[in-house]
Every structure is written in structure tokens, then in C-alpha cells.
Chain A
Amino acid sequence: MTAAMIEVENLTLTYHSGAESHRAIDRVSFSVKEGQVYTLLGPSGCGKTTTLRCIAGLERPDSGEIRIDGRPVSSSAGGEWVPPNRRAIGMVFQSYAIWPHMSVFENVAFPLRYGEGVKVPSAEISSRVRRALELVQLGELEDRPAPHLSGGQQQRLALARALVMEPKVLLLDEPLSNLDAKLREEMRGELRRLIKSLGMTAVFVTHEQIEALTLSDVISVMNGGHIIQEGSPIEIYQRPTNPFVANFIGQSNFLDGEIAGIEGAGTVQVRTEMGALACQATADFPPGARVVVAIRPEHITLSPEDDSPHNRFSCTLAQSSFIGNAMDCSMMAGDRALRVLLHPDRAPDIGSVVSLHVPVRHCLAIAAQD
């Protein structure tokens, strides 16, 4: 069992602007183990960036405690406060924050030259800068003025600057959001490989579910200043315990329902407007409990593929649109519309009546929100 590198406890921060105040994060707690890539995922304004900035020391929380490598860096109770420039954390900003008046080399050398309490002999500076630049494959560009780099290169440069001090902790604030789609895909894999190979602990902030799913060891989904669910990417995707998570990570169809019976092995019968459905329970629900059934559009199939007796219903295809790798279909079951993703070759004609099926393991019963 590896030790916790970052521990965050009961972090709360309220922003004041004139007479108005806004609670950006509210009693947020989590811990990141050494060597983990931990992702804060959520829509804009959910508090993920504020949380990251509190770890960096760029924001001062109203209350709560942050420990990095066992050492308290911010504690409202103990009064400890380590300013950001003494926390020895590497950080990559969303805008990259590459200094335009310096060359590539000078950008990376900055922490070695001007860091507080850092004493790097000047002979060593150039070798360490080169090593960092080679890690991100910018070795040949060290003399180039920073503004002459492409977006992707600037992103790598920001990474090299964050890595050059060999910090134990790396913070990444939406580092891929300014790249074009193709480059973003490439960088996702590369970023994870790099972090893992250097054995760093990383906290990653994003609003892109794909980035979170592919990069992370652990994902925390945040909304309204709270952590709503924490888990591995697979858990978060396949076992959302909350309608918000189910809809934010991928898409889901939601059906209101009530537990009709317990079938054992985590399976429950739920009474819904579309009839009784056999579902995976995400918690211990008593009979009669109000739940929401979440079904992802890609998990609904045309029924000949599966002749299981459960979870079958007949629908009319109302609308469909081609989205490249699938057909995005709107199926009507009575008044109720269901979103279904079908393979383009298999989509029926509009107006045709089809029989649909959802495997039990993909029907999730989630506690209803009040």
C-alpha cells in the first residue's frame, strides 16, 4: 500500500465580489496516492480549478487542510501556510503561460535560476534544461524564441518547465484544451506515459470525459463545489452512483422508477413507465425506494442479438442522424423518447417498429435526487 502524497481535508473557499459571495468549493476531501494520476472532472464552475489552485497555493482556502508528502502546506486550524513558490510543485497552466520574451531554453531554466531556495550550479543548469527538453521532444528547439512555437510545442514546453525541478507533484489545469483534436489524442497517451515513467503524482483538471477516462488512475467527478463520485475510470463510467455522473460521463437515458423487488446478486426489479426492468443496483435499496434507471444509448441493442427474456420493449424510430461511427436514433416508446446509438449498417428506416433490449448489467438503478 503506497502512502498518500496529497491529502485534502474539508477544503472550503468562498469568493466575495462586492456584496455577492459564491462558495466555490465546499468541504472537499480526497487523497492521492504516490504515483497516481488523479483527475478532477466536472463542468465549468464546479470548483475543480479552485481545488487545484488551493493545492498549488495560488488560492488560500477559508478552511480545511492540505498536506503534501505528509507536510501540512495549508491548514486553517494549525495556521500553517506555505507560499506557492516554496511548495516545490510543478504546474502546467491551461494557457501554457509561456513567457514570450524568453527563448525556449530560458523558459525552462527559469525555475533553476530564480526558484526560492534553489541553488543549481550554472554548469548543471544547461544539462538539466536539455534533459527536460528531451523528455518532451523539444531538444532541437532550445534557442528558438518561445512565441515561434506551435500550440503543441508550447504545451510541451510548459510541461518541460514544470518537470525541470523534478517535483514529486505535478498539477495540470486543462493542459490539452487548447490543442486541436488530433494532437489532443496524441498528447493524452504521451502525458500519461511521461508521468508514469517519472513516477510523479499528478492532479489533473479537465471537463473532457475522454481525457479523464484515458489519463487517470482515479477520477473525482465534481459539481457545485462538491465531489460527487470518486472511482476508477471504469467504475465511474460503468457504475455511476448519481444521475449527474451518469449523464456527465457519456450520455444516459433516465427513467424514474421504484424498487419492486430484490432478485439477489445486486439485481433489482424496478417499476418504470416502460414496464418492469431488471437492473444493477448501485446501492442497497429497500423495496419501494425511489430510483432512477440510467441506460446508456450505446448499450441498447436491437433485440435479435440477445434472446434474454428481460428488458425488452418495442419502439418506433422517430428520427435518426448519422454521426460518423454510429447512427444517433430517437426511439419512441409511447410518449417516451429514448436515445439509442446503433451501428450505421443496422439502423432501421424511420417509422419502423423495432424491438429493443438492454442487458441487465447495463441498466443501472441509481438513488433518485431530491
Chain B
Amino acid sequence: MSFISIARKIPGLSTARIEPFTALMLAVVLGLSLLILCMPLIVFGLSFREGRPIDPEAVYSLAHYVQVFSDAYTYRVLANTFSYSFIALFVAFAFGLPAAWLAERTDLPLKPLLYTLMTVGLLMPGFATAMGWLFLFHPRIGLGNALINNLFDGAIGPLNIASIGGMGWVEGLSLAPVAFIMTAAVFRAMDPSLEESAEMSGAKASTIARRVTLPLAWPGILASGIYIFTIAFAAFDVPAIIGWSNKIFTFSTYVVTELAPDDDLPHYGVAAALATFVIALAGALSWWYGRLQSQAHRYQVVTGKGYRPRLVALKDRKALAWGFLALFFFLSKLLPLVLLIWASLLPFFQLPSAEAFASLSLANYNAIPWDLAFKGFKNTAALVVMTPTITLFCAMAFSWVVLRSRIPGREFFDFIAFLPHAIPNIIFGVAILLLALFVLRDTIPMFGTIWILLLVFVIARLSYATRMTNSTMIQIHKDLEESGTMCGATTGTVMLRVVTPLLAPTLIYAWLWIALITFRELTLAVILTTGDNITLPVVVWSLWYSSGLGAAAALTLLLMLMMLPIVGLYWWVARKRAFGASN
């Protein structure tokens, strides 16, 4: 196909003149796609390259792979990571799945409260939950352990949170809301007539659940399981806060130690080889995920009709259901929060006693290195504003090219936008670090700047953002845009005056969500921070790492306080959306 015949398939692009808007959209999509595709390639290429970034003569060999895979420690880390991720997945589903079922398929009272608590729970970053649980079940200083010791007189315990099981438990608690949101969507979308016809065939409730409901929900549940597993696999905060000081490493913390060893120069090649291995793993997993999705498509429980799923009557078990949910919120949010507050007010962590109460003070808040914290705050604030704005702009460009243009192979761009969802985020962190250090070192010196963080944050959130803009843009009738064109407006004006206002509710909702995630993002920031571009969560991590536990707890609480308005706004917008959808 000639260039002209391709060009004529793009609205606003003609042989006569190219509208600036069209050129901009194409440039954004092509540029970002190229960058995303480059990343695995850079990781792959550099995993074979020996020596340091500045070496003029590169030698390519399998040395890094030999080093990684001949080291028994690698296998221990991988085994750790797998067991910890599976435990996290199990815990997340143990709480999230029943909660989703209660919210969507039963007559549970106070459902809005459940949704509110699940969203407000976002306020609490994973590293905050991890700190709280460490204070609770640290083998030596843990409050919970002291309690157990007193109760059972030393017969049981101490429980050690600094273990694979403990880390999995904490990560699972903080991922349970994700499991809740994803599986609630599966339950919500299910056509009740499928269950009703089973009932009319004379099946019992338990038979219907086993033979109809579960098989139908299965592809959706499994897909969200894979997603949660991938997040847990790459998560840095919980393994770092709990595992690091106790020398229990998982994949992400191990990669970070290879990139910044205490006693040596960075092992970029080893990190690249590890990353390549995980890309291969993620590739296999997302191939499986893709197969499940296509099966889910075949099952197509969503019929698009307006219907209300059948609600199971809980009768006298309502209190029991809420007891279960309350237990979850107590364990995952309230308990760690209380411990965090307690720790932040003490000179050193101790059990509640008259002495302890006497020593309560705001000294830790004073001890925060305010210069650094202020620098971190400025960077974080800038990123919280820029990341969602730029991500959504790029997402609109992708959606527009995929859904509105007729460029041959446009579906491919959608696949690229989805890649960051399938590959653990930490890989993109490693890749962009290598890109900045090895490839763009002199041409675009972005290493150590806030821009490198912005770039990787945008890429990491692109999948979520494009899912949101795609699903809304599909609903905007094409006539609405074409009538704008027939009224004489340029494609850019139509986008600004017609499409953007119609997308606005979705854009605001997605903006707030991405802003929240950006605020608490630690994993990617840790890899790419070098002083000047430090973010607030990284300041927390460095305080914790240098044993300033009280100050770290204090700063974490302040961070959560700062997130409060965004969470409030998000909750308000999300509620309005839910009501809008139900009307």
C-alpha cells in the first residue's frame, strides 16, 4: 500500500495538507510506541554486554546469564518470590473475592460504605501497611508478639512477619482491594438469566453456583489472579520494608541491590539478565492471559442489556458478613495505621506502658530531614500533576488512532499500549535506567532528572489510561465528530470542543486514580532516584533504610495526610460515576 493510500485513511490527513493536530497525535503514538518497544530490546541487548556504560569497546557474551544462573542465590530469590507472590495472591483472593460477591450478588446492607472503605483504603500505601505489620510482629520488638507471649506465657510464638509467609500476607492484604474491584466487575456483568434458567431446570442453589456461576466467572477471576500475581511479583515496597533488613530478598529487592550494591559498582548486566528472564516469564503469562481473555470473550457473560443480577438473601447472616469485612479493614488498614501513629510518636519503638505514654512526643516529626522531604514533596507534587495529565493525553492519542483512524495495523498500537500491563513495572524501570545510561547518555541527559521518572510513570500507567479512554470513546457516536467536521471545524477543534468534553467524566476519574498511584509509587522511583529527583516515598524508604524508623513512620503519616484530598475527590467522583451508571 502506497504512502498516499495509507495517508488518505487518516481523518484530517490529506495529500494537500496535514492538520497539525493529526501530525501531533501520530507523533505521540509513534514515538511512545517506539520507546515502549525499545525497552525490552535494550534490556535484552545489554544483558549480553560486558563492562560498564562508559567502556568504549563492548564485548558481548553470555557472562551475565552464566553468573545469574550458576548462582544458587538466584534460585533462592526466585523461589522466595514465587512463594511470596502465591501467598499474596491467595490472601488477596481470600478477602477480595468474598467481599466482591457480597457487594454484587447479595442483599448486604450498607454497600456504599463497603465501596467507600475500599477506595479510602487506597490512602494507605503498601509500605505503610508493611511498616505497621512489622511493628506488630517483629520477632523481637513486635507488639503482637509481646501480647502473644503474655497470653500464652511463651508457649506460642514469636510470630515472625519478616518471612516469606509474613510478606505474602501483608502484600495480599494491600492487594485485596484490587482483587475486589476486578472480580466485582465480573460478578456485576453476569447475565442473571443464565442462573435463572438453571433454576428453572430444577437445580439447587449450590449446584447452580458450582455448575453455572463459577464456570462463567472463572475466566475473569483467573485473569485478575494473573494480574495480581504480576503486581506482587514486581512489588518493591513490602519486600523492602519487611524483608531487606532481615536479608530476605525477592525479585524486585534483589534487582535493586544489583543496581546499587553497598560495596561495589552497579551490576547493570546482571540486572538486565534477570530482567530478560522475567520478560520471558511475563510473556508466557500474558500469552496465557490473552488466551483466557479470548475464552472470556467466547463465554461473553456481558450481553449489554440493562439487568439487575439476582441477589442472594443473607437473612440473619448479614452481621456475619459485615464482621468478616470489618475484620479485613481492621487487619489491613486500622491496625497498621494505629501502630504507625504509635511508632511515630515514640523515640524508639516500645510496648504500651506508663513509661511509653510519658515519652510520647512529636520529636520524630522534627527529626524528619525537612530539606530532603521538601525536595521530595516538590518532585512528587510535580509528578502528581504531570503524570496523569500527560498519560491521559497520550492515551487519547492512542485511542484516537486505534478507534478513529483507519491506518492499517492500528490494532497493533493498542497491543503496544497494553504491554506495560503485562510486563512487571520494575522491568520498565530497569529498561529506562539502562536507556538513559547507555543509549541516551550524551544526547538526552535525563538520568537523575524528574523527566526520567515522568517518562516511566507515563509508560507504566498507559495501559490503564488507554483502557479507560478506549471504552469511553467507543461509546461516543462517530456522527458527533463528523458533524463537527461538517460544521467546518478542524479535527483538533472537534477533539477539543466535542470529544474532550464528552470524555470529561472518565478523564477526571482516571486522572485522580493515576494521581493517587503516582503519589504512592515507590518501586519505579527507587530504581531511578539519584538525589535531585528524589520523591516523597523514596525519602520515606531512605529514612527507613537508615534505621530512622520513627521519622519514616512520621513522614508516611504526613504523606497519607497529603493524599487525603485526592482520595476524597476520587471517592466523590467514583460515587457520582456509580450513580450515573445506575440511572
Contact = CB atoms under 8 A, between A and B. Distances in A.
Chain B associates with chain A: yes
B479 A85 contact: no
A111 interface: yes
Interface residues of B, number: 24
Contacts of B484: 99, 110, 114
Contact of A97 (B16, B480, B490): B480
A116 interface: yes
Nearest to A82: B16
B502 A110 contact: no
B498 interface: yes
Contacts of A200: none
A90 B483 CA distance: 9
- B contact face: mostly helix, strand, loop, or mixed: helix
Contact of B488 (A60, A101, A158, A165): A165
A6 interface: no
Contacts, number: 81
B211 interface: no
A89 interface: yes
Interface in B1-24: 8, 12, 14-17
A219 interface: no
Contact of B485 (A58, A80, A165): A58
Most-contacted residue by chain A among B8, B477, B480, B504 (CB, 10 A): B480
Given A93-B483, A97-B482, A114 B489 contact: yes
A130 B486 CA distance: 20
Contact of A99 (B480, B485, B488, B504): B480
Interface residues of A, number: 35
A114 B501 CA distance: 15
B488 A118 contact: yes
B497 interface: yes
B113 to A, nearest CB: 32
Interface in A97-143: 97, 99-101, 110-111, 114-118
B40 to A, nearest CB: 28
A266 interface: no
A114 B487 contact: yes
A56 interface: yes
A114 B497 contact: yes
B486 A90 contact: yes
Contact of A83 (B14, B482, B498): B14
Nearest to B13: A83
B493 interface: yes
Contacts of B480: 97, 99
Interface string B489-514: 11001000110011010000000000
B486 A89 contact: yes
B23 to A, nearest CB: 14
Given A99-B480, A115-B487, A81 B498 contact: no
Which 6 residue pairs spanning A and B have beta carbons closest together?
A115-B488, A97-B483, A97-B479, A111-B487, A91-B486, A93-B479
25 contacts: A56-B482, A60-B8, A79-B15, A82-B16, A84-B485, A90-B486, A91-B482, A91-B483, A95-B477, A96-B479, A97-B477, A97-B479, A99-B483, A110-B487, A110-B489, A111-B487, A111-B489, A114-B484, A114-B487, A114-B489, A115-B489, A116-B490, A117-B488, A161-B483, A161-B487
Given A83-B14, A165-B488, 19 more contacts: A58-B482, A60-B8, A81-B15, A83-B17, A84-B486, A85-B486, A85-B488, A90-B486, A93-B482, A95-B479, A97-B482, A97-B483, A99-B480, A114-B488, A115-B487, A115-B488, A158-B483, A161-B483, A161-B487
Interface of A: 56, 58, 60, 79-86, 88-91, 93-97, 99-101, 110-111, 114-118, 158, 161-162, 165, 171
Interface of B: 8, 12, 14-17, 477, 479-480, 482-490, 493, 497-498, 501-502, 504
